Amino acid sequence: MELRDIEIFLALAEELHFGRTAERLHVSQARVSQAIRTQERRIGAALFERTSRRVTLTPVGRRLREDLQQVHDLLQAALARAEAAGIGAGRTLKVGVFGHAGYELRPLIDAFRGRYPGSDVVFGEINGTEPFSALRSGEHDVNVLWLPVLEPDLTVGPTVLTGGRVLAVAAGHPLVERGTASLEDLADNMVVDFGPDAPEYWAASMVPVRTPLGRRIPRGPIARTFHEILSLVASGQCVQPLGEIAARYNNPPGIVFLPMPDAPDMNWALTWRSTADNAAIRALARTAADFEPIQL
Amino acid sequence: MELRDIEIFLALAEELHFGRTAERLHVSQARVSQAIRTQERRIGAALFERTSRRVTLTPVGRRLREDLQQVHDLLQAALARAEAAGIGAGRTLKVGVFGHAGYELRPLIDAFRGRYPGSDVVFGEINGTEPFSALRSGEHDVNVLWLPVLEPDLTVGPTVLTGGRVLAVAAGHPLVERGTASLEDLADNMVVDFGPDAPEYWAASMVPVRTPLGRRIPRGPIARTFHEILSLVASGQCVQPLGEIAARYNNPPGIVFLPMPDAPDMNWALTWRSTADNAAIRALARTAADFEPIQL
DNA sequence: GTACCTTACGAGATACGTAACCATC
DNA sequence: GATGGTTACGTATCTCGTAAGGTAC
């Protein structure tokens, strides 16, 4: 009987309802049925009496539940203790962010440091051209990326930031007069290209391929870093939608950030390589899950 | 951390040697290494210090070992209790045997009944033409079959009987004079065919396709039951090698059983459908494993 | 007919072995 | 170079979800 089976058994023993048990454990109802059946086969006795109306524990099941509840609690405690020791071992997490987003995350990081003494976080820089490479190379433990992130080797954790978009334009751009920009305006200007290394779907979620009216949005020169983007914009060659956060702590000469009221909000989430999952990363993710996403 | 990982961890914590741990758990050394590495990743701390010369527990590992040892013991006890309740629930195992082999198994069955009050065994008859069908249909829980049994859906448990072969011949057969038979003699006589339903490799382990000198052994008519075999032999149409046990409690008119000194011993083992594995079957298998195979 | 548990089947994930590799004595 | 732990990679097994099938009210 593997740990997963114990969890399913205990949850069902508590809920006495296959559907609710499945929901609680985020698995299908069929899975619960299969898992219980397998255990009953192995043990050689029914653990639950069930009709389509009622689910009840048999005497054997009742006894097993008491025993396994104790085992499960002890096991969780043991693992938690080991994890705590692991986190406390002084590993520092390197978290990749765009621009100055790390500043906004301070409440989260402070909470994390408070909860797990001995742990720490340092920030690294990421850019739009290769959003995942630092994760995959192991240089970063976690990246804060806008969603969606649909990479099979990456895990998407809790959302930590949410906010609208702004359009970066040159100071002399005609749109500056109007004071705001809309998605439709993009078709009349050239936007920066994130290059071939950035996944298409991901780049498109920042700058769509077409406007809401279906006009094609022209892509211009490739920019690797945030700085290069700003240079292209300042020179008047391009405009570029960016997360609202870019406008907060940047006041670059020759550039104006215009709000884009019709652009849907974007969400930034913690993301890490699934196989590099470890106690410190999970601890950070747990901490983040307890916070509401920071609203810009 | 699944139960399997706990077992590997505890075994390594005890042995402090990857090779011995692997041997003890009947897995590869690489598997032990992988399992420990995965847990260390998840926990975020080393559990063992290791060079190619020495393996020692880290403080985190030492603590985890104490905790998990307790958890593991409690879990095993809980499952054993549930299984005992399952076996005691009065299920009767139906065990298929050839001829009177059940009689020889009495010591084993008595021990099983003694160890697991409430359990019981009844015997059913099996034959060479369809050795596995009663298992697959669910009619029998366990069959006692001669080895090898190489069916992917069947589990082969402990060997319970071992013994030589005899050749059944008609009373007037020339070999009777000699008093014994050899494998070479088979080429000069026709043997019974188990029919197309019996797996080739399995039938061949009782009656090889060729003699040791390479002469082909001619197959005669198909016989379904043990009785039909004896009829064919008595009529002089065929001879037939059989397990020594066949000669013990059969004294059929017109048939003589001749020892076959050059035929290797055969082993009979408990066999069951892997998916129908349950507590009662495992209890019988455990009991059998504590006995030496009964020597005929 | 509706709520709800079970079974059948296929796809994806995981466990595991083999073999090559690397480190220590 | 012998012993012993690690890594890479392919395969078999298992887990789990979807969808269809029962069964009790």
pLDDT of residue B90: 62
Q: In chain A, what residues touch B3 (CB-CB under 8 Å)?
A: 1-3
pLDDT of residue B191: 94
Enumerate residues near strand C (beta carbon within 7 A): A 17-19, 29-30, 32-34, 36-37, 50, 52-53, 55, 152; B 2, 4, 26-31, 34-35, 38, 51-54
pLDDT of residue A296: 77
Is residue A131 over pLDDT 90? no
pLDDT of residue A88: 67
For residues A133 and A287, the model is more confident at: A287
Of the ranges A38-42, A92-96, A226-230, B140-144, which one carries the lowest mean pLDDT score?
A226-230
Sign of CA dihedral A176, A182, A183, A185: negative
Where does the pLDDT of residue A287 fall: very low under 50, low under 70, confident under 90, or very high at 90 and above?
very high
Where does the pLDDT of residue B84 fall: very low under 50, low under 70, confident under 90, or very high at 90 and above?
confident
Where does the pLDDT of residue B89 fall: very low under 50, low under 70, confident under 90, or very high at 90 and above?
low
Nucleotides of chain D in contact with protein CB (under 7 A) are 3-8, 13, 15-20, 22-25
- Long-range pairs for B56-62 at CB < 8 Å and ≥24 separation? B56/B16, B57/B13, B57/B16, B59/A85, B60/A82, B60/A85, B60/A86, B60/A89, B61/B13
Summarised one tens digit per residue, pLDDT across range A195-213 is: 887 888 888 888 999 999 9
- Residue range B151-165: average pLDDT? 88
Is residue A22 over pLDDT 80? yes
pLDDT of residue A53: 81
CA–CA separation, B241 and B246 (whole Å):
10
Q: In chain B, what residues touch A4 (CB-CB under 8 Å)?
A: 2
- Residue range A272-290: average pLDDT? 86
Of the ranges A25-34, A124-133, B50-59, which one carries the lowest mean pLDDT score?
A124-133
Q: In chain A, what residues touch B41 (CB-CB under 8 Å)?
A: 275-278
Looking at every residue in chain A, the average pLDDT score rounds to: 90
pLDDT of residue B35: 97
What does pTM read for this prediction?
0.79
Please name which of A201, A193, A178, A267 lies closest in space to residue A223, comparing C-alpha atoms: A193
Residue nearest to nucleotide D16 (CA to C1'): A31
Where does the pLDDT of residue B52 fall: very low under 50, low under 70, confident under 90, or very high at 90 and above?
confident
Whether omega for the bond prior to residue B131 falls within 30 degrees of 0, making it cis, is no
Where does the pLDDT of residue B88 fall: very low under 50, low under 70, confident under 90, or very high at 90 and above?
low
